[in-house]
């Protein structure tokens, strides 16, 4: 995927560009996110720094694809992409019409419990929701984090206790 994204930077004809753009978006749609038991996805729930960097690179890459391919990608994948990853896309989007589409998709998310996000992704989603003045969604993220935080309260790990305190601060604000 990374190699294909680099190929687009080379001087190739428009038809080849379109084939590469389409292939990269197909890879993300097919292998990026999902919930099928027993499968591992590139941008799985437990996203690491390396895969987060790849998602950021892909989000930047999306700025270079034509509108028709972008619309196809969004229509195929919008339900599978977690809200935290949608916010990363929004942060790196440089095209106003696409920003609005992403905002609409994000604001349409109601049941964050079904997204099965980890605490890192919930925190990213919460901060991004606040930064974008999506206060109802931020409240929903706080509610989705509560069961995870309550399970962690019994732990004695100092890092976990600091995270719990940070989340309590988020709730206070």
Closest CA to 142 of 162, 160, 166, 159: 166
The C-alpha atoms of residue 126 and residue 1 are separated, in whole angstroms, by 29
Q: For the segment 60-83, what is each residue's pLDDT rounded down to a tens digit? A: 999 999 999 999 999 999 999 999
Least confident interval from 16-30, 42-56, 89-103, 130-144: 42-56
Q: Which long-range contacts (CB under 8 A, 24 or more apart) does 19-23 make?
A: 21/64, 21/65, 21/66, 21/69, 22/69
Task: Average the pLDDT over 41-65 and give the result.
Answer: 82
Instruction: Give me the pLDDT at residue 171, please.
Output: 77
Residue range 111-125, pLDDT digits in tens: 887 787 888 889 999
Query: What 3-state DSSP class applies to 143?
Result: helix
Q: What is the mean pLDDT of residues 143-158?
A: 86
pLDDT at residue 116, rounded to an integer = 79
Two structure tokens written together for 155: 């732990």
pLDDT at 47 > cutoff 90: no
Average pLDDT over the chain, rounded to whole?
A: 88
């Amino acid at each position: 995927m990374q190699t294909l994204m680099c190929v687009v930077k080379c001087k190739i004809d428009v038809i080849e560009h379109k084939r590469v753009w389409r292939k990269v978006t197909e890879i993300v749609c097919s292998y990026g996110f999902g919930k099928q038991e027993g499968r591992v996805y590139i941008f799985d729930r437990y996203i690491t720094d390396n895969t987060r960097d790849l998602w950021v690179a892909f989000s930047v890459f999306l700025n270079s694809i034509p509108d028709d391919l972008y619309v196809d990608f969004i229509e195929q994948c919008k339900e599978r992409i977690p809200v935290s990853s949608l916010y990363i896309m929004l942060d790196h989007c440089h095209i106003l019409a696409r920003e609005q589409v992403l905002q609409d998709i994000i604001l349409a998310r109601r049941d964050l419990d079904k997204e099965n996000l980890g605490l890192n992704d919930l925190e990213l989603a919460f901060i991004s929701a606040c930064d974008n003045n999506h206060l109802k969604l931020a409240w929903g993220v706080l509610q989705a984090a509560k069961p995870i935080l309550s399970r962690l309260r019994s732990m004695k790990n100092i890092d976990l206790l600091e995270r719990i305190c940070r989340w309590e601060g988020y709730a206070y604000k």
